[in-house]
Amino acid sequence: MKLATLRTSNNGTTAALAVGEDTYLPLPARDVGALLADPAWRTVVSEAAAAAAHADTVSVPASGLAPLLPRAGKVICCGLNYGDHIQEMGRELPEYPTLFAKYADTLVGASDAVEVHGSGRVDWEAELAVVVGAELFRAAEDRAREAIAGYTVANDVSMRDWQNRTLQWFQGKAFDGTTPVGPVMLTADEVDGDFEVRGYVNGELVQHGNTGTLVFGPAKLLSYISQFTTLRPGDLVLTGTPGGVGMGMTPPRFLNDGDVLTTEIDGIGRLENVFRIHAPVTANA
Ligand code: ZN
């Protein structure tokens, strides 16, 4: 099953949807996070499907999609989780995951324009993201695995000039409206195996990784995070990016005004976001 969050107005109202082949079924929840907060959410979806058997499915363009979890309580990211990316950033294989947080304000929809003010080093990080489906605190890995509601696509777009101002990356990772997430959540029960993650700039493939090579896989990450903070339904965990980010290139390369960033995971979907960079772009060195 695929779930999404639809924008129902220009003033922030949204609704959860079950996504079919060509149709979107409205669900009685304001977004996917609110849906998952009901432990009986699968029943809610099947009842909505039964009630709509004769009509009522809506067809909406991808541009109508809001970020999957517009009100996520916690958005936690893992840096340095693929061997090739760790290498290009010049670091050692980690003993513990490198974690940082974002706010829900960073999230944008699958086809939204990304507006960046005040950075000339805007870089890409294509990532698999995990959607939490049950409360987790001090959970073992098996329990954490059972608590995964599903998976989605994200791009941990990073303002490298801001990120590298200090040892803490936070400020370069938490610009409002710069982290595309969606278009849908693929439920965990339909996932069998690893994902291919790809990133493109203006159609050119720049990143490609397989989540089977993650140093810390989804269940391990959720378990680790839950040792110090409670994860709840609708929280989002970004699992890190494979090699091929702009900062790792020689010479380094960053997004320019008008560039289109595409982020894609087979079986889930793709994000396609045009960038509006409202700053003089500094030299790429
Ligand atoms: Zn990242």
CA of 113 from ligand 1 middle (Å) equals 20
**Pairing of β 269-278 and β 114-117:** parallel
Query: Predicted confidence band at 285 (pLDDT cuts at 50, 70, 90)?
Result: very low
Query: Which amino acid does the sequence have at 100?
Result: F
Euclidean distance between CA atoms 4 and 186, whole angstroms: 9
Which is more confidently placed, 160 or 62? 160
CA of 236 from ligand 1 middle (Å) equals 13
CA of 78 from ligand 1 middle (Å) equals 6
Query: Which amino acid does the sequence have at 168?
Result: Q
Q: What is the pLDDT of residue 83?
A: 83
Q: What is the pLDDT of residue 61?
A: 64
Cβ-based neighbours of 193, under 8 Å, separated by 6 or more: 212
The predicted-structure confidence for 122-137, as pLDDT tens digits, reads as follows 999 999 999 999 999 9
CA of 104 from ligand 1 middle (Å) equals 15
CA of 59 from ligand 1 middle (Å) equals 33
Euclidean distance between CA atoms 82 and 84, whole angstroms: 6
Cβ-based neighbours of 149, under 8 Å, separated by 6 or more: 36, 131, 132, 133, 134, 185, 187, 188, 233
CA of 26 from ligand 1 middle (Å) equals 32
**Domains of the chain in sequence order:** 2-64 (no CATH), 75-278 (3.90.850.10)
Query: Predicted confidence band at 65 (pLDDT cuts at 50, 70, 90)?
Result: very high
Residue keyed to tokens 């990450």: 221
Euclidean distance between CA atoms 139 and 219, whole angstroms: 10
In the chain, pLDDT over 70 holds for what percent of residues? 94
Q: Prior bond to 251 cis, omega within 30?
A: yes
CA of 238 from ligand 1 middle (Å) equals 7
The predicted-structure confidence for 67-114, as pLDDT tens digits, reads as follows 999 999 999 999 989 988 888 778 888 899 999 999 999 999 999 999
